[in-house]
Amino acid sequence: MLQFSSNPPLEPTKHALPMLRTPPKGKLVLLLTCQDLLGCWTHYFGGRSTPCTGDPCEACQAGSSMRWHGYVCGITPKTHEHCLLEVTRAAAETLAAYRAKNGTLRGCHLTATRVAPRANARLHLELRPFDLSTIDLPASANIQAALCNLWGIPITETAITHGDLAQAAIAHMGTPMPPDRGNGQQTPPPATPTRP
């Protein structure tokens, strides 16, 4: 039966969010809605960042190096569009310090810039608390579900409800990564990665 409504559905059917990266020039501003950042090992492979799940990861087999990336979600001040932001390991340390001091990232006003006008220049984050009495901050998006959707990893509503998205990704793509060996980059893992 055809049904009309003046309001959108309360629960979105997809977990898609646009992925933002800090531009080479200018700045990117977000008001964070998430409590914490979420990170994983990635490869730049096939012209894009893809998650690394260890053996039998195609990018590992091709010899592509790994980097750890962190992800947060927030709204843009002008459009109030919910987005994901990808940050480097060094920038994630700034977020972790803010979270340790404030107990959460939610409500953090984030300004991201590059230290030089290049797309791969070091990322600089300025973080400050935002007066939440001036805005109705939406609930956080599910970062894991949004990443799985972005990377084409099949997920189920059961996995989302029970927080088993990491296991869904492992089941779909392979096994988890070993711990970091130092500078945020790794050589391809051994044939059978160890669990942290």
pLDDT digits (tens, 9 = 90+) for 97-142: 999 999 999 999 999 999 999 988 999 999 999 988 888 899 999 8
Phi-psi bin for 63: left (phi > 0), alpha (psi -120 to 50), beta?
left
- pTM check: above 0.85: no
193 assigned to some structural domain: no
* Residue 75 belongs to domain spanning: 19-130+137-177
192 assigned to some structural domain: no
In the chain, how many domains are there? Answer: 1
153 assigned to some structural domain: yes
26 assigned to some structural domain: yes
Give the CA distances from residue 184 to residues 32, 49, 53, 88, 91, in Å, rounded to whole numbers and listed in that order.
Answer: 24, 15, 16, 9, 12
184 assigned to some structural domain: no
* pLDDT computed for residue 100 by the predictor: 95
* Residue 160, number of CB atoms within 10 A of its CB: 16
- What are the structure tokens assigned to 110, written together? 């984030």
187 assigned to some structural domain: no
11 assigned to some structural domain: no
Length, in residues, of the chain: 196
